[in-house]
């Protein structure tokens, strides 16, 4: 499916502890043209979280109204709380030519792919389950029970890696970051994106707005 917008959507999925959040933070710091989609949730803010930056914190009634109005691109009910990606700000960013990162799980990725054309999906793998276990323990935040639960969730998440176009193995952070940047840059150089972003130039050369294989 072709992307009808000037901007690109990058679905980024990884098991807990694979380094996804750190990679995305570094990617965005190096590339101000990227926007991170901010989700809505009905859970309470945690220490250090900011409304509008980490999440939009709303009550359950407001969230359910947004669901009824089809304002969510994807949503999930996890541990008694709703989470969802708002459709309107994402589409507005794409129409403005901005590239959007969606930090999302495999279920959310399936929902987005079913509704939005031309998304680029990237799965980030740890170098091994043993390395993932070590990283989770190095955080020194979770109990053995929580770590075991996260590892079980990681195995489920990883089992869906074959649904994604790209896979990055985060063994060395700088290498993984470089690979992520290469994917983003390669999408920006596609004919359709260049034609949309440089319409006058393409018109001056008599070039079509879409590639010949559309």
Q: Which structure tokens are listed for 88?
A: 């309107």
Residue 2 lies in a domain: no
* 75 three-class SS: strand
Per the structure, the count of domains in the chain is 1
User: Mind listing the pLDDT tens digit for each residue in 104-155?
Assistant: 999 999 999 999 989 999 999 999 989 888 888 887 667 788 888 888 888 9
Residue 188 lies in a domain: yes
Q: What CATH number did the domain enclosing 22 receive?
A: 3.40.50.300
Residue of 43, 38, 107, 53 lying closest to 75 (CA atoms): 107
Q: Kindly report the pTM of this predicted structure.
A: 0.90
Distance CA 185, CA 180 (A): 9
User: Mind listing the pLDDT tens digit for each residue in 62-96?
Assistant: 999 999 999 999 999 887 899 999 999 999 999 99
Residue 177 lies in a domain: yes
Residue 62 lies in a domain: no
């Amino acid at each position: 499916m072709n992307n009808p917008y000037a901007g690109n959507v990058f679905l980024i999925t990884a098991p807990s502890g694979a380094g996804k959040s750190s990679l995305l933070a570094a990617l965005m710091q190096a590339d101000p043209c990227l926007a991170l989609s901010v989700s809505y949730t009905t859970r309470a803010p945690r220490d250090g979280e900011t409304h509008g930056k980490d999440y939009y914190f709303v009550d359950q009634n407001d969230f359910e109204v947004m669901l009824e109005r089809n304002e969510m691109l994807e949503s999930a009910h996890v541990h008694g709380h709703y989470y969802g990606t708002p459709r309107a700000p994402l589409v507005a960013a794409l129409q403005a030519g901005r590239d959007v990162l969606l930090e999302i799980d495999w279920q959310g990725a399936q929902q987005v792919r079913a509704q939005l054309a031309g998304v680029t999906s990237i799965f980030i793998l740890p170098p091994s389950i043993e390395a993932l276990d070590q990283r989770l323990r190095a955080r020194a935040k979770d109990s053995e029970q929580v770590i075991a639960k996260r590892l079980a969730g990681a195995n489920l998440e990883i089992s869906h890696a074959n649904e994604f176009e790209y896979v990055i193995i985060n063994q060395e952070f700088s290498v993984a970051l470089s690979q992520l940047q290469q994917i983003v840059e390669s999408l920006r150089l596609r004919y359709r994106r260049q034609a949309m972003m440089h319409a006058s130039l393409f018109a001056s050369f008599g070039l079509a707005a879409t590639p010949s294989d559309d």
